Amino acid sequence: MKNIVRTLLAAALLLSGLSLYAQPQAGDNQRLTPQVMARLFPAGVVSPEYNADGSVTFRCQAPQAKKVSLDCQMLPAETPMTPGENGVWSITVTPGKPDIYPYAFVVDGTKIADPNNALIFPNEGFKYSLADVRGAEPSVQDIQDVPHGKVSYRFYHSNTCGIDRVLTVYTPAGYDPAGSEKLPVLYLIHGMTDTYETWFKVGHMNNILDNLIAKGAAKRMIVVMPYANPYPEMIRQGKAQMYNAMDTDLVSKEILNDVKPFIEANYKVKTDAASRAVAGFSLGGRQALACGLGNPKDFKWVCAMAPAIFGEEYKANFQNGVYAPVNSLNKNLKLLWLGTGTSDFLIEASRSLDGFLTENGVKHTFYTPDGGHTWMNCRDYLARIVQLLFK
Site for its own copies in 237-296 (CB under 8 A): 242-247
Beta bridge partners of residue 80, listed in sequence order: 69
Q: What gap in Å lies between CA 146 and CA 384, rounded to an integer?
A: 19
Q: Is 94 in the site for its own copies (CB under 8 A)?
A: no
What is the rounded distance in angstroms from the CA atom of residue 386 to the CA atom of residue 211?
11
With the CA atoms of 296, 382, 285 and 153 taken in that order, what torsion angle do they form, in degrees rounded to the nearest 10? -90
Give CA–CA dist 149/286, Å, rounded. Answer: 28
CB 209, CB 203: distance < 8 Å: no
Binding of its own copies by 195 (CB under 8 A): yes
Give the nearest distance from C-beta 167 to its own copies in angstroms. 11
CB of residue 104 to its own copies, shortest distance in Å: 10
Q: Is 31 in the site for its own copies (CB under 8 A)?
A: yes
Residue numbers 296-325 binding its own copies by CB under 8 A = 308, 310-313, 316
Q: Tell me, letter by letter, the H, E, C secondary structure of 33-98.
A: CHHHHHHHCCCCCCCCEECCCCCEEEEEECCCCCCEEEEECCCCCCEECEECHHHEEEEEECCCCC
Q: According to CB under 8 A, which residues from 144 to 163 bind its own copies?
A: 145, 148, 150-157
Q: How far is the CB of 47 from its own copies (least distance, A)?
A: 11
Please work out the total of residues on this chain that contact its own copies, with binding judged by CB under 8 A: 85
Residue 154 or 334 having the CB closest to its own copies: 154
Q: Closest approach of Cβ 274 to its own copies, in Å?
A: 28
Based on the shown chain and the rule CB under 8 A, indicate whether residue 231 belongs to the binding site for its own copies. Answer: yes
Q: How far is the CB of 71 from its own copies (least distance, A)?
A: 9
Indicate the SS3 state at residue 89. strand
For the window 44-73, what string marks contact with its own copies as x by the rule CB under 8 A? x-x---x-----------x-xx--------
Cβ of 327: how many Cβ atoms within 10 Å? Answer: 11
Q: Which is nearer to its own copies, 8 or 382 (CB)?
A: 8
> Residue from 3, 136, 216, 241 that binds its own copies (CB under 8 A)?
3
Query: For residue 138, is the peptide bond before it cis, meaning its omega torsion is within 30 degrees of 0?
Result: no
Interface region with its own copies, contact rule CB under 8 A, candidates 86-94, 181-189, 344-352, 353-361:
344-352
Q: Give the separation between CA 373 and CA 375, rounded to whole angstroms.
A: 7
